[in-house]
Amino acid sequence: MIEDLWYKNAMIYSLDLETFMDLDGDGVGDFNGLIRRLDYLQFLGVDAIWLAPFQPTPNRDNGYDITDYFGVDPRLGSGGDFVEFMHQAEKRGIKVLIDLVVNHTSDEHPWFQNARDPESSKRDWYVWSEKRPEDWNEGMVFPGRQEATWTYDKKAKAYYFHRFFKFQPDLNMDNPSVRQEIRRVIGFWLQLGVKGFRIDALPFMIESVEPGKRKKERRYDYLTEFRTFMQWRSGDAIMLGEANVLPEESQRYFGDEKGDRIHMMFNFYVNQHLFYALASGDVRPLAEAIEATSDMPETGQWAQFLRNHDELDLGRLTDEQRKHVFEQFGPEEHMQLFGRGIRRRLAPMLGDRRHEELAYSAMFSLPGTPIIRYGDELGMGDDLDLKDRDAVRTPMQWADTLNGGFSTADDLVHPVISKGVWSYEHINVAAQRRDPSSLLNWTAKMIRLRKECPEIGWGKCTILDTGSPHVLALRYDWRGNTVIVMHNFDKIPHEIALEPGVEGGERLSNLLAEEEHESGEDGIHRMALEALDYRWFRVGGLDYVINRGRSMIKK
Catalytic residues: 200, 242
C-alpha closest to that of 141 among 99, 100, 199, 201: 201
User: What's the distance, CA 176 to chain centroid?
Assistant: 30
CA–CA distance, 151 with 130 (Å, rounded to integer): 11
DSSP H helices in 142-193: 176-191
C-alpha closest to that of 367 among 504, 446, 271, 470: 271
User: What's the distance, CA 7 to chain centroid?
Assistant: 13
The DSSP symbol for 295 reads -
CA–CA distance, 475 with 538 (Å, rounded to integer): 10
C-alpha closest to that of 315 among 246, 252, 387: 246
Segment holding 555, helix H or strand E: none
CA–CA distance, 217 with 194 (Å, rounded to integer): 31
DSSP code per residue over 380-431: ----TTS-GGGGG-PPP---SSGGGGS-S-SS-SS----SSTTSTTTS-HHH
C-alpha closest to that of 220 among 231, 205, 234: 205
Residues 6+ apart with CB under 8 A from 333: none
Residues 6+ apart with CB under 8 A from 31: 17, 54, 72, 76, 77, 81, 82, 84, 85
Residues 6+ apart with CB under 8 A from 436: none
Biggest alpha carbon–alpha carbon distance for the chain: 82
- Count Cα atoms within 13 angstroms, Cβ side, for 406: 30
